[in-house]
Amino acid sequence: METRAHHILIGLFTLFTLVAAVIFSLWMAQAATQREYAFYEVVFNRAVSGLSTGSRVEFSGLEVGNVVEMRLDPDDPRQVLALIRVDQEIPIREDTQAKLGLANITGSMTLQLYGGSPDSPRLTTSEQDPAQITAAPSPIDSLLSDGEAVVSNVSRLLNNLNTLFEEDSAERINRIIANTDAITAGLAEAQSQITNALDDSVTQLNRLTTQATTTLENIDTLSQSANQLLEEDSRRLLLSARQAAEELTATSEQWRQLMDRNALGVTTSVNNIAASSADLPAILQELQATLVNLNRVSRHLEENPGEFIFGGEQIKEFRP
């Protein structure tokens, strides 16, 4: 009896738990159906692989709704129309944008809404005439749409690599590597030589700089000495010129005074010379006669000096 009672209690507890779970699920479903949604239609110009009915709709990373229906545009089959419902409290504005986002690593997608400035008006929509939002291309869209081209490029790259690593190409690569090693070694040696040459050039440049500095100092000293010498010579020359000018002034004064004192005497002498000039011809005649007599006397003295000195006849020579 006790065992049967325990089984009855366990069965009742299990039944009560199941009923409570069903009631809670119904309440949650009723609460979900009682939420008010706004409907929008998102237009895709690319393939929407991974997006399906029931996929989540996110706004700034938060789930705000889901995809209700997906269909092709009857006017342009290249476009995909996705009808979504979003919590009516979410402000979907005229500048709000949409794009695909990766939901997980399995490849399923989410529809992501983003943007919408506060100054932009809210987008007016209804379930019968939903407002359209044009989806912007996302990196995932580009990757999926360009996947075939990417695979083709990768295949071409692998073929080129296989061609590159063939035997002939490998030999060329080995030669290129060997040549590169030789060039690198030559560059290293040349770098050492260039470094030594630069060091020598720097040393010579430092030496030349020192010599130039010394030369400039000597030139500066010589210039100062020359300036000092020129100043001293100029000073002495000016002093000598001043002294000569003073002496010339004094001499001129003395000469003027002398001329003033002797002016009367000079005038008298000039007058006497002018008076004596009348007797000058007679004086010249007498002077000429005197010179003739002196000439005759000198000639006579030369021919017979004894007679001129002792007078009378000339003394005859004695012979035994």
The tens digit of pLDDT for each residue in 198-246 reads 888 788 888 888 887 888 787 878 777 767 776 776 677 677 767 766 7
Strand duo 56-59 + 109-115: pairing: parallel
pLDDT for position 39: 94
The angle, 0 to 180 degrees and rounded to 10, between the axes of the packed helices 147-164 and 167-276 is 80
C-alpha–C-alpha distance, residues 59 and 313, integer Å: 181
Q: Which helix (H) or strand (E) holds 314?
A: none
Compute CA distances 161 → 81, 152, 155, 168, 277, whole Å: 43, 14, 10, 13, 141
Residue 305, number of CB atoms within 10 A of its CB: 10
When pLDDT is averaged across residues 22-48 and rounded to a whole number, the result is 78
> Is pLDDT of 317 > 80?
no
pLDDT band at 164 (very low <50, low <70, confident <90, very high): low
Question: What count of Cα atoms within 13 Å lies in the side-chain half-sphere of residue 240?
Answer: 6
pLDDT for position 82: 93
**3-class DSSP state for residue 116?**
coil
Q: Averaging pLDDT over each range in 54-63, 172-181, 207-216, 230-239, which range is the top one?
A: 54-63
The residue count of the chain comes to 320
C-alpha–C-alpha distance, residues 220 and 28, integer Å: 105
Give Cβ neighbours of residue 288 (< 8 Å, ≥ 6 apart): none
pLDDT in tens, 79-100: 999 999 999 888 899 999 999 8
pLDDT band at 151 (very low <50, low <70, confident <90, very high): confident
Lowest-pLDDT choice from 91-95, 139-143, 187-191 = 139-143
Between these two residues, 309 and 42, which has the higher pLDDT value?
42
Compute CA distances 264 → 2, 36, 194, whole Å: 191, 154, 101
pLDDT for position 230: 67
C-alpha–C-alpha distance, residues 58 and 86, integer Å: 9
> Is pLDDT of 115 > 70?
yes
C-alpha–C-alpha distance, residues 301 and 320, integer Å: 30
C-alpha–C-alpha distance, residues 24 and 29, integer Å: 9
Q: Where are the beta strands (DSSP E) in the chain?
A: 37-44, 56-59, 62-72, 80-87, 96-102, 109-115, 131-134
pLDDT for position 318: 39
pLDDT band at 29 (very low <50, low <70, confident <90, very high): low
Sign of CA dihedral 105, 107, 109, 114: positive
Token output for 292: 């003739």
Q: What pTM was computed for the model?
A: 0.40
pLDDT in tens, 276-305: 555 656 666 766 777 666 667 666 655 655
Mean pLDDT computed over every residue of the chain: 76
pLDDT for position 305: 55
pLDDT for position 144: 59
pLDDT band at 166 (very low <50, low <70, confident <90, very high): low
pLDDT for position 315: 45
